[in-house]
Amino acid sequence: MKEYEVAESMPLAEIGDLNTESAAIDILSAEMKGTTIQLVVSYSGGCAEHRFRLIGSPILTKSLPPQRVVKLIHTNNDDQCKKMITDTLLFDVTPFANNASKDKTVVLNLDGVVTLKPLLLVF
């Protein structure tokens, strides 16, 4: 398993278009650790470099606390290999904060993933 946890190289999540195309990927687990989200993922490949981006909707719900839909984008560079790979991905999700929110919390709803415990970004 790869660990993407070097603070200086940790990818920064971004606000963007949730309709962005993504290669197939299974998110096995998701957990918040401060302003970092840890995703354990599984995908097929093994012959090309894979890249990952985490994007969030520019729109927040008007609920309390506000909620933001988030999507993991997987670029597989047309890797046709069939080896099943499991990785742990870490993303800095501070761009998903809502600085206008008085309670300093945003619920992150990860597209296609149901979690038993809400993914709370507290800032």
Going residue by residue through the chain (123 aa), what tens digit of pLDDT does each one get?
343 343 457 899 999 999 999 999 999 999 999 999 999 999 999 999 999 999 999 999 999 899 999 999 999 999 999 999 999 999 999 999 987 667 789 999 999 888 878 899 998
Domain of residue 103, CATH code: 2.60.40.2370
Note the pLDDT of residue 7: 44
Note the pLDDT of residue 4: 37
Question: Which strand ranges, in their side-by-side order, compose the sheet holding 14-15?
Answer: 14-15, 51-56, 67-75, 105-110, 119-122
**Which residue range is the domain that position 98 belongs to?**
7-122
Cis omega (within 30 of 0) on the bond before 65?
Answer: yes
Cα 81 from Cα 122, distance rounded (Å): 39
66 domain residue, yes or no: yes
Task: Tell me if 97 sits within 8 A of 106, measured CB to CB.
Answer: yes
Look-up: residue for tokens 């299974």? 26
Note the pLDDT of residue 28: 95
Question: Which strand ranges, in their side-by-side order, compose the sheet holding 26-33?
Answer: 26-33, 36-45, 83-92
113 domain residue, yes or no: yes
Instruction: Count how many domains the chain has.
Output: 1
Cα 121 from Cα 123, distance rounded (Å): 6
